Structure formats: structure tokens, C-alpha cells
Structure 1
Amino acid sequence: MAAPRILVVGGGFAGMECAHKLERILKPHEAELRLISPQAHQLYLPLLPHVASGVLTPQSVAVPLRRMLHRTAIVPGGAVGVDPKAKAVVVRKINGETVVERYDYLVLTPGSVTRQFDIPGVETHAVGVKTLAEAAWIRDHVIAQLDLAAATSDRAERESRLQFVVVGGGYAGTETAAYLQRLTAAAVKRYPGLDPTLITWHLVDLAPRLMPELGERLGDKAMRILQRRGVKVSLGVSVEKCTEDTVTLTDGRSLPCRTLIWTAGVAPSPLVATLAAETNRGRLVVRPDLTVPGLDGVFALGDAAAVPDVVKGGDAVCPPTAQHAMRQGWAAASNVAAALHGEPLAPYRHKDMGLVVDLGGIQAVSKPLGVQLSGLPAQLVARGYHLAALRSGTARFRTVANWGLNAVAGDDYVRTGFQAGRPATLASFERTDAYMTPEEIAETVSTYHYAPTRPEL
């Protein structure tokens, strides 16, 4: 008899960790392991602001799946639909071919996409910080604005190119604004024709506080650090609309601006909607053992699942953080193996270890295990945590080397230009329009002719 097939959808924190642990706890003959991912790497999202500012190279935060996984076949594509009744996943491979992958056990970790809130112009003119391509594009774009501002003789155009807006006062938005402000403040010294006072960074968030999860003291500390650098922080305010060269805020201000970076929260992957299963604010409802009620052999975790937080109790669910996703991956692997062996499943349980926010240089705010830190001690904790969370020694070495080189030698502000002609829209980077309807999924699954299992591409 053929070994049961365990199919993991998504190669992020939860998916890669699950597959990695399954390789360790299952013998080769016990199961066939397959992982579906359009990118052949696990992306360490918390360090994307470092990539966007040029402090780290892209390779530092992208751990190749094939370096970590040795028995798992990588299916190079994106899952665009799931048919739980047929126990099948429709995959659109990176070459455009559509295939159907059968499973006995399915681990869903499709992650999340940037939340847009249907604000006019955002889908067309904003860019997120969710992918490696977006981080690389942002760096090129920001440096290009300095180049173009230096080239133009039109003062209005120059001012619009030197104003930058980041929406979202959470960790991603705050770190992105902090790191990119440092980039432009240092880079403008190489442009003798530009007035440094024209460069303005705006951090906008609808919440009344910056990073409320950190508490009032640390949130205010982070805001003061940003304000001392000249970042204009606007709380209780959001974007009303935007165009190619203007961002209009809900308080009536109209900012001439050609750079809108959108980090105002995340939404579960659109793949969740193809299952027709119960959701909680868009995330799949799951039991404490990570199984999806009513779907045989299906586990869900990470950003796309509303995993009960049994430590906090009540109706609390785990926040969509890398810390929880990694540990849920380990728990899911243990439970899948237990289900395979006919053993009882265990609930996922993890107490949050705290939060770290790196603001660049020696400035940071952190709350490890409830202890409030700022300045150099917080920075040491933040970077120590990131190094521990990176999944390969090579990635850790590259990261430390990049941090050290940047601290000693600074940056040369090179604009590669390789993405100059690429449209900078949320949809083009995050492929939110690629998913099938339930009818399309059913038709594809019913008419697909299954070929014998082939090696990975």
C-alpha cells in the first residue's frame, strides 16, 4: 500500500516548521511529505524593514526550503483552491500549469495578505511590506525619489518626491518608518543640491496609541524616538483616498506624496474562503489541537487560523505572529503524526514570550517576558531574538555580517533599477486575485487526470 500523503500548504514559519519536524519524527516509509509554496524559501518577515533600508541583503532573511527540508517534495506553485470532500488541493504552478494534489492529511498554513479596507486608490498606489520583492522595490523606489528630486527643477515635484507616508502604527509600520527615515537622512548628505528639511516621513495610524501591545510607557518612548528624528506621527487618523502624487488623510490634510507604504494590518489568505468552512474574522476556526471541525484530516495554523489561546482562556485566539506560527508548526507536526499512529492529539499551548521593536542603530523598545526595556539593552534583546529565530546558521552569519558592515561602513545607496518598470500594487506583489471559486475548484478536481507521482521540479 502507498504511504499516506501529508500535504503542507505554505512555506512560511508555520508550514516550514511543520514539515521540518515531520521529517524528524516520521520514518521515510510512514508518509509521503509534500509542501506547496510559490517561493522556495521561508521568509523571515520581521527583518523586511532591514532589507527595505539596505541594512540586510535579501538572502539574509530568506532561508531556502531545500536547505532545511531533505525528504519533503517541494511543489513550486500556489494553492488556489481546496476541495475538502475530494481531499484535493488545486495548485497553479509557477510555470502556469494547473495541477491537483491529493492528500490524506492537509496542513493549511497559507499565511496572510495586506489588509486594504477598500480605500480609494490604495490598491493601485500603495505597496506593502509582506514580500521580499516588495522590500526590494521599496528600497529602489525610495532612492529613486532622491535621484528624481535632485534632477527636477520643479519645486512642487521635488517636495512631493521627498514626502513619504507609512500607514500602520504596529510593529511593521513603526520599524519600516524608523529604518527608511534613517536611510533618507543619511543618503541626502550625498545630494548637495537637496534641502534635507524637505524630506518628511509621516507615520499614520487610526489607533490612539503607537503599538498599544507594548504598553503606554514603551509606546510613548518609541514615538518620542521617531519624533526626535523628524518623523511626523499622526494618531487617530487614516487615509481617505490617494492618487499617484497625493495622499488625503481623514483629518482633511492633503499631502503631496509619491510613496505610500501600507502596513495597516493583515487579512487571512483568500485561500481560506475557498473551503466554505466556519471562520472568525476571516480566519479558519480550529480546535485547540489545530484540527478544522467538519473537515477530515485537515489542520490549520498560522495567520490564516483562529487558534484558541488556551493559556489566556475564554474566547482569546493567538495573535498572528511569527512566534506563535513557528510553535504551532511544531505542534501540528506532532498532532499529524499522532493522528497517523492513532494516538490522541494534544492542544497547542504557548505563553507569549514578549515583543521586540528595532528602531535602528542602538535604539529599540522591547518587552521580553514582561520586562520593559529601551535603548541598547532593548536592541540587544531584539537582535538576539531575531538571530535565534532565523532557521539556518548561514542566515545568522549573513545577518550578523550585514549588521556589522552597515554599522562600520554605512551604505552606498545603490539603486539597482531592476524593478523600475514593475507595477507597484498590492495585488501584483501578493497575487490576491489568483484564487478560484468553489465551482471552479469542483470542476477542476472532477476533470483532472492524475498522473503517477513524479519527483519535485
Structure 2
Amino acid sequence: MERPRVLIVGGGFAGVQCARGLERELSESEAEISLITPDDYQLYLPLLPQVASGVLAPEAVAPALRRVLRRTRIVPGAAIGVDTSAKVCVVRLITGELVNQRYDWIVLTPGSVTRTFDIPGLDRRARGMKTLAEAVWLRDHVIAQLDLAAVTHDEAERAARLRFVVAGGGYSGTETVACLQRLTSAAASRYRRVDPRWIKWHLIDHAPKLLPELGDRLGHKALQIITARGTQVSLGVSVSAVSEGSVTLTDGRTLASHTLIWTTGVTASPLIDTLGAETVHGRLAVRADLQVPGMEGVFALGDAAAVPDLAAARGAGDGPPPVCPPTAQHAMRQGRRAARNVAAVLRGRPTRPYEHRNLGLVVDLGGRDALARPLGVELSGLPARLVTRGYHVAALRTSNARCRTVANWLLDATTGNDFFRTGYLAGQPATLSGFEGTGEYPTPERVRELAHDSSVAGEC
């Protein structure tokens, strides 16, 4: 008898946690588990700013999936469409070949991509902090600006090279500007013709507060820390245009700069649009047990799903319950619940709703600075530093990654950093859509055609 096929789409926090859970919940004879992902590692996103600043090596935040998963079949590609009526997932392999993967149950965890707007020049000039490739490229780019500033005799050109703009005052943007500002300040001491005082970092956000999720006191503390280091923070402001050598803001200012780092939030993967299903602010609408209404055998979770936040709903009064924010904390716990619910369905047992108590938030500002709010307790200084780094080490999936991360931190604290360029993607176009692959998704109608197209290869 053929085993039921459980197909997981996406190798992020939710997908990998679901696969791990299914390996524990189900025996090998009960189901065949497959995971579709273009990468053979699980990226730990919260530490990407430290990769960009050179504190951590890329390997430290990217545990190999084959260390994490034992029985799961890994399909090297990206899902570009799902025909839920035919129970077929259309996959573009890393070779570019299209294949149709059939399933009995599918768990959609395609994650999110950087949210962009129709701003002139943004698609060609902005860089994100969402993938490992972006972090590595960005480190090279920032150091290249110092190299170029050190050899030019044009003062205006030098000023533009040494001005860096980060859009987005959330966790990613604040940690990115904090870590990279420390990188450029330390690196400047190695250059004869670059004065650290010439380096200008700007953090802009349309919101009136920095890190509002941390609360007023810790948000203000974060603002104090990064401004004390020399970063200029502009709130209530956004980007109106980007050119090769300048960033124009909505308040009328034009900043001469060759660097715009775009971290203004995320939106669900374009894969969700191929389903033709109900969405909530772009995220796939799901029930509390993570199943998609009206789609047999389909579960969805993580950043791409609007999962009802039952814990928050208790204090929200009347009206529809709020949805879980797109955080790693929720994604991992939803992955565990999804694994249990898929196993329950396969065995003919009832599912249970996802419910989670928020454990708190942590922000690493580089050096000795950190802020944390575990279980509602506000921390700063050394206690926050210990909580923040302890949380990150515990969240990494393998002992190998934990050892690499701790070793990198110790090396950075004792011997400092080496500021060099790797030459990664030198001379190649680097765009948000190119790094995150957001332009390769067909329409729902085209997905149905591909699912029934005999010229498309079958199982790979």
C-alpha cells in the first residue's frame, strides 16, 4: 500500500519545525515527508545583521538541513504554484526545470518577502536584509564604499560614499543600522584618508516611534543608544525616490548616498496569490487549527498565513480575533502544532487550535548593547545582553551552529574583525527581486495548466 504523501513548502522556521515534528509524530511507514526549498540550510534570520557586519560567519546562522532532518526528502527548488483540486504543487528546481509534485496533504510555509512600494528607483537601487546572499553582498558593498572613499579626491563623491541610509525602524532595520554602524566606525581606523567622523548613518521610518513593540521606555532607550553612536534618526519620514547617487525623502531632503538598505516590513510570499484563496492583508486566511477553509488537505502557517491569535483575542474585546505577527517565535511553535495536527488527521483524530503565550522580544544592538522584554519584564544593559544571546543560541537548530556562533562572538570580542571584501557577486546586478525571487510566479489559471501539462516532468 502506498504511503500518504505529506508535502511541506518552505524551509524556514515554520516548515523545518513542521518537518521535524512529523518525523517524531509519524513512523516511516505512516507517511512520506517531503520538503520543497531552494536552499539546503535553515536560515536563522534574526542574526543576519551580524553576518552583514562580519561578526558571524554565514555558516553560523545557516545550519545544514541534513543535520536537522533525518527522514525528510528535500526537493531543491521553489514552489511557484499549487493546484489544490488536483493536489499538485508546481516546482521550479534549482536547474530551472519545472516538475509537478503530487501530494495527499500539503503544509504551506513559503514565508514572506520584503515589502516594497511604487517608489521610483526602489526596485533597482534598494538592498534588503532578508536572505543570506543579501547579508553577504551588503557587507561587501559597505566595505567597498570605504575603499572607494579612501581613493577619491572628489569631496562630494567621498561624502556620498560614506553616507548610508536604512529605511525601516523595526527590528531588522534597527539591528542592521546598529551593527553596520559599528562595522564602519571600526573599519575607518584602517584607512588613512577616511575619518570616522565623515561616516554618516541615517535611519528613517514613517512611524512616530522606534521599535513600538518594545514599549515606550525600551523604544526610547534604543533611540538613545543608536543616536549616541552618531546615527541620525528621522521618524515620520519615508523614501520618495532613489537614484544611483541619492535618496530623496518625503520631507523634501535629498541625501547624497550610494546605499539604501530597505527593511520596511514584509509581505506574504507571491505563492499565496497563485491559490486564488481568501486572504487577510495578503496572508492566507486559515482556521485556528491551521487548516485552510474550503481546501481539502491544505494547512498554512508562518509569515504567509493569517493565523488567529487566540491568546491576544482574549483581551481584544468583540470583533474578529487579531492574527499572529510574522515572527520566528510564532512560526516555530505553529510548525510544532501543524505537525501534530497533520498526524492527527492522518490517524482520524481531532485537531487542536494553535495558541501561544508570547515569551517576549529581544533586540541586539551590537557590542555590549541589547534590549529585551522576556515575559513582559523590561531589561537593558548586561542582563538584556545575556538574555538576547542566550535566546539566539537556544533557538539555533544544531549544536554545530551554536558552537560556531559562540566561537564567532568570542573571536570578535577578543581579536576584533578583519574588514575585507569577498568579491561576492562583484559586477552583477543585485536587486530585491533578484535576491528574493519574487518575479517568477504564474497566475492561478497558468498553475492549473501546468499541473495538467504532460510536458512538465513528474516527481523528481
TM-score range, shorter chain: over 0.9
Whole-angstrom distance in 1 between the partners of 2:35 and 2:340: 17
- Which residue of structure 2 aligns with residue 34 of structure 1? 34
**What's the secondary structure of 2:107's corresponding residue?**
strand
| Paired residues for 1:41-56 under 5 Å | 41-56=41-56
- State the SS of the aligned residue for 1:145: helix
Match of 1:421 in 2: 427
3-state SS of 2:240 partner: strand
2:394 is the alignment partner of 1:394: no
What is the rounded CA distance, in whole Å, between the counterparts of 1:119 and 1:448 in structure 2?
41
- In structure 1, what is the equivalent of residue 207 of structure 2? 207
SS, match of residue 42 in structure 2: strand
Identity of aligned residues (%): 64
- CA distance in structure 2 between the aligned counterparts of 1:279 and 1:451, rounded to whole angstroms: 30
Contact 2:98 2:457 survives alignment (8 Å):
no
Q: Indicate the larger mover: 7-16 or 116-125.
A: 116-125
Whether the aligned pair in 2 keeps the contact of 1:178 and 1:359 (CA below 8 Å) is yes
Pairing 1:296–2:296 present: yes
For the Cα contact (< 8 Å) 2:100–2:459, is it kept in 1? no
Question: Cα 1:294–1:161, aligned 2, differ >3 Å: closer, same or farther?
Answer: same
1:381 aligns to 2:387 (yes or no): yes
Count of residues in correspondence between the two structures:
454
Q: Which amino acid aligns with 1:280?
A: V
Q: What's the secondary structure of 1:311's corresponding residue? A: helix
> Match of 1:95?
95
C-alpha separation in 2, matches of 1:130 and 1:200 = 23
Deviates more, 1:280-289 or 1:305-314: 305-314
The SS at the match of 1:153 is: coil
Deviation at 1:195, TM superposition (A): 2.4
**What is the CA distance between 1:451 and its match in structure 2?**
6.9
After TM superposition, give the deviation of residue 419 of structure 1 in Å.
1.8
- 5+ residue gaps, structure 2: 314-319
Change (3 A) 1:453 1:273: closer
How far does residue 154 in structure 1 lie from its aligned partner after superposition?
1.1
TM-score, with normalisation over the residues of structure 2? 0.97
Does structure 1 retain, via aligned residues, the 8 Å contact 2:185–2:196?
yes
Question: How far, CA to CA, are the matches of 1:386 and 1:393 in structure 2?
Answer: 12
Matched residue type, 1:361: G
Instruction: Give, in whole Å, the separation in 1 of the partners of 2:175 and 2:298.
Output: 36
Q: Which amino acid aligns with 2:332?
A: M
Residues 68 and 236 (structure 1), Cα distance of their counterparts in 2 relative to 1, 3 Å cut = same
Query: Structure 2 CA distance, aligned partners of 1:433 and 1:34?
Result: 25
**Further displaced range: 8-17 or 430-439:** 430-439
Deviations 1:416-455 (A, max 9, x none): 113212212101100100111122211111123687756x
Q: Output the CA distance in 1 between the equivalents of 2:23 and 2:283.
A: 27
Partner SS for 2:67: helix
- C-alpha contact (below 8 Å) 1:100/1:448 kept by paired residues: no
Q: Does the Cα contact within 8 Å between 2:209 and 2:235 map onto a contact in 1?
A: yes
Q: In structure 2, how many angstroms separate the alpha carbons of the residues matched to 1:155 and 1:28?
A: 66
Secondary structure in 2 matching 1:210: coil
User: In the alignment, does 2:173 pair up with 1:173?
Assistant: yes
The two structures have a TM-score, normalised by structure 1, of 0.98
User: Matches of 2:212 and 2:222 in 1, distance apart?
Assistant: 11
SS of equivalent to 2:294: coil
Q: Secondary structure at the match of 1:41?
A: coil
- Aligned residue in 2 for 1:341: 347
Q: Which amino acid aligns with 2:170?
A: G
The SS at the match of 2:361 is strand
Please state if 1:329 is matched with 2:329: no
Instruction: Check if 1:230 corresponds to 2:230.
Output: yes
1:347–1:420: structure 2 CA closer, same or farther, 3 Å change rule? same
Query: What is the one-letter code of the residue matched to 2:344?
Result: A
Question: C-alpha displacement at 1:363, in angstroms?
Answer: 0.5
Query: Within the alignment, does 1:365 sit opposite 2:363 as a pair?
Result: no
Letter aligned with residue 302 of structure 2: G
Structure 2 CA distance, aligned partners of 1:388 and 1:195? 39
User: Could you tell me whether the CA contact under 8 Å between 2:368 and 2:381 is conserved in 1?
Assistant: yes
- The 3-state SS of whatever aligns with 2:326 is coil
Structure 1: which 4+ aligned runs deviate by more than 2 Å? 448-454
Could you say which residue in structure 2 is the equivalent of 1:61?
Answer: 61
Report whether the alignment pairs 1:116 with 2:107: no
Look up the match of 2:316: none
